[in-house]
Amino acid sequence: MNENSRHAVHAALAASQAVILTWLATAVVVIFAFTINISSPVLTGVSWQDAGHMATSLWMLSLGSPLIVSGAHISLMPLLLTLGIALAFRYFIRRNSIGGWNEVVGAACAAAALTAIISLSALPGTFTLHGILGAGIIAAVVSLIEWWSWDPPRAAWWGWMGRSWALAKPLLMVLISATFVLFIVAMVTGWDQVLDIHSYYLLNALQSGVFTVAQALYLPTLLVWTLAFASGAGFTVGSGTHFSSLGVMTQPLPALPVLGALPGPTVHMPWLIVIIVACGLAVGVLSGGHLKRLGEACGAGAIATMVLMVLFALVGALSTGGIGPGRLIETGVEPPIFGALVALEAGVGLLLGLLFRNQQLHGIIRARFRGAAASPSTGGAADPEDERAAEASEDLAMSGRAAVPNGKPEGTAKRTDNGGEAAPRIDEPSEPISRVSDDDADFDEPMAHSDNATARSDLGKRNSAEDGELSAAEKWRISRGLPAIDQSDAV
């Protein structure tokens, strides 16, 4: 047996361990519950073998197999048990370090084959094919997650998925936490009605505990319904009912204590949508600082929103099914509408938070405001040449005040109508200014800016040596690369 085959066998054994362990645990719990409730009139004529068959059907139901019991169509999955099965797969598969497609296929095939064998002990009305496929899918998904967690694909799309999941994961956690808080609030406000329904069954302490555990198996489903209510997508508990923050329509409901927390027909809570948007906004502000570029932030936010849409649509499909005969076959949410609304509301908040933290957008806004402040008459951005000319004019004025005793500079800069600077005005000197020697006479000729920088610098040095400090106007012209001043007329 080569290395790849040996790894595939190990993955198959890991998946088989998860299947057997979860099935046995479910059977033990159901048989125990049957034992402590054996005196109930409902269980008259039921043997422990029947309880074992019921345990297998319940376990298969958590994998997606619907069943028909006494004419009642039961297809709503106990997602808490489904989550437990997935965690068991994760525990055993992680110990074997999945690292290839052959191991993923081996785990999925082993889970499906062993589930098919176990399904032979289910109740006659169980549709076992759904559960067999469900076990294989769970094993394959868990194997892929464990494999790609330490050896991710090298494709470019995986990088985008990683950056987007860095936003989608905390947002998902925040939404779950907020939904759990809303569920607790609903249970507290409707606690009296929950107790009234529970008291109808006349159960002792152990029986009440079993009844509570049975309802707790549907806790993830109840959380999904709570989020659907808050988002406005709503959910149904039988045909003719609809529970949403935008409005409620009710019909007679099953006598389950947990349903006593459902709101009445007069309840309208559209402000709950703001909570979902606020969750996205908080995650965007707190987690979006590492996305520096504007396009990167918008792309990551858009992909994170699409990922959440797919996840919520999938969870909504798993939280939909029948819980009885007749109109109770229609129970749960509309998966596409639920996924789209929740992702859209949370995604809008997420995108706003990302834009609030984006540094490139901050720079663009600051540049626009500075430009508007610099040129209020036109409302546009200030010309950089104008800013440099203004600074030069200020330097010229300061140097002129320092050189002239009466505080007046020899030359002052005038701004032209088009926003630039004109050449400074040269005041008439009180004494003749020494000319450059005849040897340097050709420096008095106008020269181009690109050819005479060195000559002007030398001229400035010669004049400084003969006449002392240059005037402020001469300094300004030399700094701008303008021709030297011909002062022959001033002599």
Question: DSSP letter string over 384-447?
Answer: HHHHHHHHHHHHHHHHHHHHSTTS--SEE--B-TTSSBPPPEEPPPSSPPPPPPGGGGGGGS--
Contact criterion met (CB below 8 Å) for 255 and 200? yes
pLDDT band at 486 (very low <50, low <70, confident <90, very high): low
Please provide residue 137's backbone torsions phi and psi, each rounded to the nearest 5 degrees: -65, -45
Answer yes or no: is pLDDT of 274 > 90. yes
Answer yes or no: is pLDDT of 114 > 90. yes
pLDDT band at 398 (very low <50, low <70, confident <90, very high): very low
**Residues whose CB is less than 8 angstroms from the CB of residue 244 and which lie 6 or more positions away in sequence, other chains included:** 228, 229, 232, 233, 234, 235
Read off the DSSP letter of residue 381.
P
Q: What is the pLDDT of residues 400-443, one digit of tens each?
A: 444 444 444 444 444 444 444 444 444 444 444 444 444 444 43
The C-alpha atoms of residue 113 and residue 92 are separated, in whole angstroms, by 17
> Of 64, 84, 88, nearest to 137 (Cα)?
64
The pLDDT of residue 1 is 62
The C-alpha atoms of residue 394 and residue 417 are separated, in whole angstroms, by 18
pLDDT band at 299 (very low <50, low <70, confident <90, very high): confident
Look at phi and psi of residue 227 and say left if phi exceeds 0, alpha if psi is from -120 to 50, else beta. Answer: alpha
pLDDT band at 455 (very low <50, low <70, confident <90, very high): very low
User: What SS3 state is found at 190?
Assistant: coil
The C-alpha atoms of residue 392 and residue 394 are separated, in whole angstroms, by 5
Determine the residue type at 73.
Answer: H
273 to 228, 237, 270, 347, 413: CA distances (angstroms): 10, 21, 6, 12, 63
Q: Is the dihedral of CA 285, 291, 295, 296 positive or negative?
A: negative
Read off the DSSP letter of residue 227.
H
The C-alpha atoms of residue 238 and residue 330 are separated, in whole angstroms, by 5
Answer yes or no: is pLDDT of 126 > 60. yes
* Better-scored residue on pLDDT, 24 or 402: 24
Q: What is the pLDDT of residues 64-104, one digit of tens each?
A: 999 988 778 899 999 999 999 999 999 999 888 777 888 99
Determine the residue type at 154.
Answer: R
The pLDDT of residue 432 is 45
Tokens standing for 246? Answer: 């935008």
